[in-house]
Copies of this chain bind each other. A is one copy, B any other.
Amino acid sequence: MSTQAVNGSVSRGKVLTLDTMNPNVKKVEYAVRGAIVQRALQIEKELKEGVKKPFTEVIKANIGDAHAMGQKPITFLRQVLALCSYPALLEDNKFPEDAKQRARRILAACGGHSIGAYSASQGIECIRQDVSRYIEKRDGGIPSNPDNIYLSTGASDAIVTMLKLLVCGEGHDRTGVMISIPQYPLYSAALADLAAVQISYYLDEDKCWSLDVTELKRAVTAARQHCNPRVLCIINPGNPTGQVQSRQCIEDVIRFAKEEHLFVMADEVYQDNVYAEGCKFHSFKKVLFEMGPEYSSTVEMASFHSTSKCYMGECGFRGGYMEVINMDPEVKAQLTKLVSVRLCPPVTGQALLDLVVNPPQPDEPSYSMFMKERTEVLAALAEKARLTEKTFNTVPGIICNPVQGAMYTFPRITLPQKCIDTAKEEGLAPDMFYCMRLLEEEGICLVPGSGFGQREGTFHFRMTILPPTEKLKDVLQKIRDFHVRFTKQFS
């Protein structure tokens, strides 16, 4: 610093500029809310201001946001949340007894019986117990310890926290983290922020985006030349690719992780979103324990779940949890300390999670309505999954794998060379160019495949299947028409 600067009378630039900010943050990218979404918001404003467009509304199929797409909240969940927020309603006869009982139980576990009190940083104890019971039931009785459950601010929070714990070393010793390509960009963003090394392994599009251990092996072997691979991240059911892993594949992956001495992070937030016949959700934990003590007592793992997806789609509440397995107790103490700095996850999100893991039972008054609402949502999603695949596969130049699970389709699009050249001139990835055109011409907001990663020379987009069926049909029709028109235009 110069004396001039210190005496303060000289005009200086800003303290914080692009050149003097955290360089890791600059490397962060998050396509799901990137440039195309900014433009979509702008167009929405323009429409409101009366600007004429070839469409009357923007359909934001860029993000898995069920309620924004018109899905109605599950009545029981919201009744209990209202009771927790305003306990005077506990005297109201309009609320069913089981909703009141759940609310009373949650409030009793809160400081001063208020959801406005901080909770324990790891989450409210009785909710962690309920999460454990839910996991045990899901996994056919394999034990779960509430001490291993950490409630979180959505799954994203827990995923970033686990990655943060795991990253260390410099240069060739820097922690490498294996993530699928295509991937959910939270992972690449967190790795950039932490300056960890991203190790990409490719899913096999020709085999319905399945994961092949040979490819994992290739990726880890190559990475050992320049970093220290320590973590393997898996998303199952897949985001953005919608595949559901077979039990055999999960077993192979776990065996690979053990051989390569990798910590497994299993992102299982879509565990209720399985649609394809013959597909079933198998939790990594269940498979691990079925492989016997040689695995179940050694392989370190964290599994993530969320209130934002499945049938409830309550993204705004930022509820979630992770279960850690075989974690070193000293590290667990460090984890508990680390989460305490942020005090606690939102208590309304914790309450919501409690209802998700402890829903109405057959002998309770809310059961039938709850089941009806839940089943309707999941049945509609299954129908939309099939509809989407079927429709896209009728379009020349679009190839679409079955949407076995999750909430997205990730079709491959053929782009003419002239499009690729024009995009290059404009400094855009070709699929970004394509998606931007689609947005401007049809008001449909998708995320280009380049935001998730894809094999060199291939192009895709991610679209949620969440719009209501009739609207989805309309969207699919519009994309089809656009694709044909676009292809002609650039041929």
Contact = CB atoms under 8 A, between A and B. Distances in A.
A contact residues, range: 35 or more
A352 to B, nearest CB: 9
Contact of A21 (B21, B166, B342): B166
Chain A to chain B: the 5 pairs with minimum beta-carbon distance, closest first: A68-B111, A8-B259, A316-B347, A82-B86, A67-B114
Interface in A55-76: 63, 65-73
A157 interface: yes
Contact of A68 (B26, B117, B338): B117
A1 to B, nearest CB: 7
A340 B30 contact: yes
B118 A23 contact: no
A318 B342 CA distance: 10
17 contacts: A7-B259, A11-B298, A15-B300, A17-B328, A17-B330, A21-B334, A25-B164, A26-B334, A32-B340, A67-B111, A115-B317, A116-B314, A117-B315, A118-B315, A154-B343, A164-B193, A316-B346
Nearest to A120: B41
B18 A328 contact: yes
A166 B16 contact: yes
Contact of A315 (B21, B116, B166): B116
A69 B117 CA distance: 9
Given A331-B16, A338-B28, A164 B22 contact: yes
A148 interface: no
Interface in A13-48: 14-18, 20-23, 25-26, 28-30, 32-34, 41
A81 interface: yes
Interface in A97-145: 110-112, 114-121
Interface of A: 1, 5-8, 11-12, 14-18, 20-23, 25-26, 28-30, 32-34, 41, 63, 65-73, 78-79, 81-83, 85-86, 89, 92, 94, 110-112, 114-121, 153-154, 156-157, 160, 164-168, 186, 189-190, 193, 224, 230-231, 255, 258-263, 298, 300, 312-318, 326-328, 330-331, 334, 337-338, 340-349
A249 B69 CA distance: 51
A133 B341 CA distance: 31
A32 B79 CA distance: 34
Given A86-B78, A111-B68, A317 B346 contact: yes
Contacts of A328: 14, 16-18
